[in-house]
């Protein structure tokens, strides 16, 4: 398959080429096409604004910070439906169990990603054993943060926060930590992004 076939070109690229700013609510656009989408957005002077809760939280925390002040991004994870389940019980779980998220009301794919921590952490132990390479320990939202904020993967941390009140944090060069807090409700980051678009993009 040609690598260009993987480009998320239909809706996102069409909007960028039309000069429309993007309120990005999915991870896949940057995960699959970050090296293509970001230069295209820069070329067309288009802003990509995060509407997902964790990345909206980071976006809010960095507002007004001088360049070079950001030291570390701290993504929070609820742990999903299986966070308190003993490891030996995981082999018995069903899809229906994964869909019982304790805090968030989300679509099926994202809820399963949360239950398995696929959205935050990936452990390729099979590849590690077979090919004797280091396992990858970052997931979808870490990759997204890398592209959105230009942070190195080593500068993106993940913490389990079962209450889902702290949506994400940043650490600055003086060791201060800034956090964005709110109820686990996707309407809040979406409303914030609408406000930001109205203020900065119109």
Low-confidence winner among 40-49, 70-79, 90-99, 149-158 (lowest mean pLDDT)? 90-99
Q: Is the pLDDT of residue 131 over 50?
A: no
pLDDT band per the 50, 70, 90 thresholds, residue 43: very high
pLDDT at 162 (0 to 100) = 86
The CA distance from 77 to 122, in Å, is 13
pLDDT at 87 (0 to 100) = 77
Q: Is the pLDDT of residue 1 over 60?
A: no
pLDDT at 103 (0 to 100) = 77
Query: Helix crossing, 140-149 with 53-62: angle to 10°?
Result: 30
Average pLDDT over residues 115-139: 55
Q: Is the pLDDT of residue 44 over 60?
A: yes
pLDDT at 122 (0 to 100) = 52
- Radius of gyration of the chain from its Cα atoms, rounded to whole angstroms: 18
**Between these two residues, 5 and 177, which has the higher pLDDT value?**
177
Q: Is the pLDDT of residue 149 over 70?
A: yes
Average pLDDT over residues 108-115: 76
pLDDT per residue as tens digits for the range 16-39: 999 999 988 888 888 888 999 999
102 exposed, middle or buried (CB, 10 Å; 0-12, 13-18, 19+)? Answer: middle
The CA distance from 77 to 84, in Å, is 13
pLDDT mean across residues, the chain? 82
Q: What is the DSSP string of 48-83?
A: EEE-SHHHHHHHHHHTTPPTT-EEEEEEEE--GGGT
Q: Is the pLDDT of residue 9 over 60?
A: no
pLDDT band per the 50, 70, 90 thresholds, residue 75: very high
Average pLDDT over residues 7-24: 83
Average pLDDT over residues 45-54: 91
Name the maximum alpha-carbon separation found in the chain: 54
pLDDT at 196 (0 to 100) = 82
Neighbours of 20 (CB within 10 A): 14
* HSE-CB for 97 with a 13 A CA cutoff: 11
Average pLDDT over residues 138-166: 88
pLDDT at 182 (0 to 100) = 93
């Amino acid at each position: 398959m040609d690598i260009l076939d993987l480009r998320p070109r239909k809706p996102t690229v069409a909007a960028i080429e039309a000069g429309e700013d993007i309120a990005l609510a999915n991870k896949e656009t940057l995960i699959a096409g970050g090296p293509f989408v970001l230069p295209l957005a820069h070329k067309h002077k288009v802003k990509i604004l995060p509407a997902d809760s964790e990345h909206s939280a980071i976006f809010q925390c960095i507002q007004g910070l001088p360049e070079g002040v950001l030291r570390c991004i701290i993504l929070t994870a609820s742990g999903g439906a299986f966070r308190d389940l003993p490891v030996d019980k995981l082999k018995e779980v069903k899809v229906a169990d994964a869909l019982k998220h304790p805090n968030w009301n989300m679509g099926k794919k994202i809820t399963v990603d949360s239950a398995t921590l696929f959205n935050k952490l990936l452990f390729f132990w099979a590849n590690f054993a077979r090919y004797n390479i280091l396992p990858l320990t970052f997931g979808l939202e870490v990759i997204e943060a890398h592209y959105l904020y230009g942070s190195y993967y080593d500068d993106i941390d993940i913490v389990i926060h079962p209450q889902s009140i702290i949506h994400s944090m940043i650490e600055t060069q003086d060791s201060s930590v800034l956090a964005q807090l709110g109820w686990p409700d996707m309407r809040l980051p979406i409303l914030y992004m609408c406000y930001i678009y109205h203020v900065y993009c119109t």
